[in-house]
Chain A
Amino acid sequence: MIHIHLYGELTDIVGKEKIEMSTFQSLRKCLDALKEEFPSLNAKVYRVALNNEIIDEDVQLKQGDIIALMPPFAGG
């Protein structure tokens, strides 16, 4: 399983803060599967972190990976 952690307004779209996905050939495929389940995500801007490292490129995933999807930061 891949653990997806959602933040900010993305929690409204998915309806919870954490979900699990069984698709994990690659990060892109996993996110595509997630967007298929929650099409509203397609319109959203977010940054992706894999195991607490922000990444931009597609990578292979492994069992137990944690993907964080974070909308634009709004601290302060």
Chain B
Amino acid sequence: MQEDKIMKRKEPKNIFLDGAISPEKIANSIAHHQVKTNIGAHDIFLGQVRADKIDGKEVKAIEYSANIELALKEVHEIREATFEKFDLTCMHIYHSLGKVKAGELCLFVFTSSAHRNEAMEACRYLVEEIKAKAPIFGKEIFLDDTHTWKVNK
């Protein structure tokens, strides 16, 4: 198990998916964990594109882009730090690239542990770290096809 964990953590994993993250992917991901019977708790964060109103105009989609190489490096480091900090069985991180319509999902963070505290705290920690450190950018496209750039609050 320990060896397995170390092997998995060597290379930066791809986190990027083209377009929206489907609810089916999330359901399947949950289903895949049923064989891991040492898990007692999961926590999941789902980021969804909001139809923000900015200066009277409504956002219909966000087009995500990233400095992919640097983002994967940063997320790899976040992943390692999270494994150090929390006693997790596993974690999964996915972020969209390209266009995601309002109402669709753009971020999926999934943590699993023996007990709830570790899973929940790690999930929150991961989301905050990804937002702060991963060079990902969002072009907010309005109904009239003009755009602005997303600013994280």
Residue numbers of A with Cβ under 8 A of B are 5, 7-9, 12, 47, 49, 52, 54, 68, 70-76
The main secondary structure of chain B at its interface with chain A is mixed
Chain A residues near B107 (CB, 8 Å)?
Answer: 75-76
- Interface of A (DSSP majority class): loop
Determine whether the beta carbon of B70 is less than 8 Å from that of A52: yes
* Among all A-B residue pairs, the 10 with the closest Cβ atoms: A75-B136, A8-B137, A9-B149, A74-B150, A76-B47, A74-B138, A76-B131, A76-B107, A70-B135, A75-B134
Flag if A73 contacts B134 (CB, 8 Å): yes
Q: With A8-B65, A9-B149 in contact, do A73 and B133 touch (Cβ < 8 Å)?
A: yes
Whether the Cβ atoms of B135 and A7 lie closer than 8 Å is yes
Q: How many residues of B contact A (CB 8 A)?
A: 27
Inter-subunit contact A68/B138 (CB<8 Å): no
Name B130's contact: one of A5, A9, A76 (CB within 8 Å).
A76
A7 touches B67 (CB 8 A): yes
| A5/B67 in contact, CB under 8 A | yes
